[in-house]
Chain A
Amino acid sequence: MNDLIQYTLHLADNALILGHRNSEWTGHGPILEQDIALSNISLDLIGQARMLYQYAASLSGNGATEDSLAYLRTEREFLNCLLVEQPNGHWGNTIMRQFIFSAFQYGYYRELKSKKDVTLSAIAEKSLKEVTYHLQWSSEWVIRLGDGTEESHLRMQDALELVWPLVPELFRPEPYETRLAEAGVAVEPDKIETPVREKLTAVLTEASLSIPEDSGVWSGRSGKSGIHSEHLGYILSEMQYLQRAYPGCTW
Chain B
Amino acid sequence: MSRNASWPLWEVFIRSRQGLDHKHVGSLHAADAKMAIENARDVYTRRMEGVSIWVVESKYIHASNPDDAASLFDPANDKVYRHPTFYELPDELSHM
Q: How many inter-chain residue pairs (CB < 8 Å) link A and B?
A: 37
Contact present for A33 and B29 (CB under 8 Å) = yes
Contact A37 B38, CB 8 Å, known A29-B1, A31-B1, A31-B29: yes
Contact present for A36 and B29 (CB under 8 Å) = no
Q: CA A33 – CA B37 in complex, angstroms?
A: 11
Asked if A1 is at the interface of the complex by the 8 Å CB criterion, the answer is: no
Asked if B51 is at the interface of the complex by the 8 Å CB criterion, the answer is: no
Contact present for A33 and B34 (CB under 8 Å) = no
Q: CA A1 – CA B43 in complex, angstroms?
A: 42
Residues of the B chain whose Cβ atoms lie less than 8 Å from the Cβ of A33: 28-30, 39, 42-43
Residues of the B chain whose Cβ atoms lie less than 8 Å from the Cβ of A193: none
1/0 contact trace for B53-64 toward A, CB 8 Å? 000000000000
Partner of A140, one of B1, B7, B28, B35: B35
Contact present for A31 and B7 (CB under 8 Å) = yes
Contact present for A35 and B1 (CB under 8 Å) = yes
Contact present for B43 and A36 (CB under 8 Å) = yes
Q: Which partner residue on chain A sits nearest B6 by CB separation?
A: A31
List residues of B (2-55) whose CB comes within 8 Å of A's CBs. Answer: 3-4, 7, 28-31, 34-35, 38-39, 42-43, 46
Residues of the B chain whose Cβ atoms lie less than 8 Å from the Cβ of A140: 34-35, 38
Contact present for B42 and A30 (CB under 8 Å) = no
Q: Which partner residue on chain B sits nearest A144 by CB separation?
A: B31
Q: Which partner residue on chain A sits nearest B4 by CB separation?
A: A31
Asked if A245 is at the interface of the complex by the 8 Å CB criterion, the answer is: no
Q: Which partner residue on chain A sits nearest B35 by CB separation?
A: A140
List residues of A (26-64) whose CB comes within 8 Å of B's CBs. Answer: 29-37, 40
Q: CA A40 – CA B45 in complex, angstroms?
A: 11
Contact present for A37 and B31 (CB under 8 Å) = no
Counting chain B CB atoms within 10 Å of each CB, the highest count among A33, A35, A36, A137 belongs to A33
Contact A31 B46, CB 8 Å, known A140-B35, A140-B38, A144-B31: no
Q: Which partner residue on chain B sits nearest A38 by CB separation?
A: B42
Q: Which partner residue on chain B sits nearest A39 by CB separation?
A: B42
Which chain B residues have a beta carbon within 8 Å of chain A's beta carbons?
1, 3-4, 7, 28-31, 34-35, 38-39, 42-43, 46
Q: List 13 A-B contacts (CB under 8 A).
A: A31-B3, A32-B1, A32-B28, A32-B43, A33-B42, A34-B39, A35-B1, A36-B42, A36-B43, A40-B42, A136-B38, A140-B34, A144-B35
Interchain residue pairs A-B with the least CB separation, the first 8: A33-B39, A37-B42, A36-B42, A33-B28, A40-B42, A36-B43, A31-B1, A31-B4
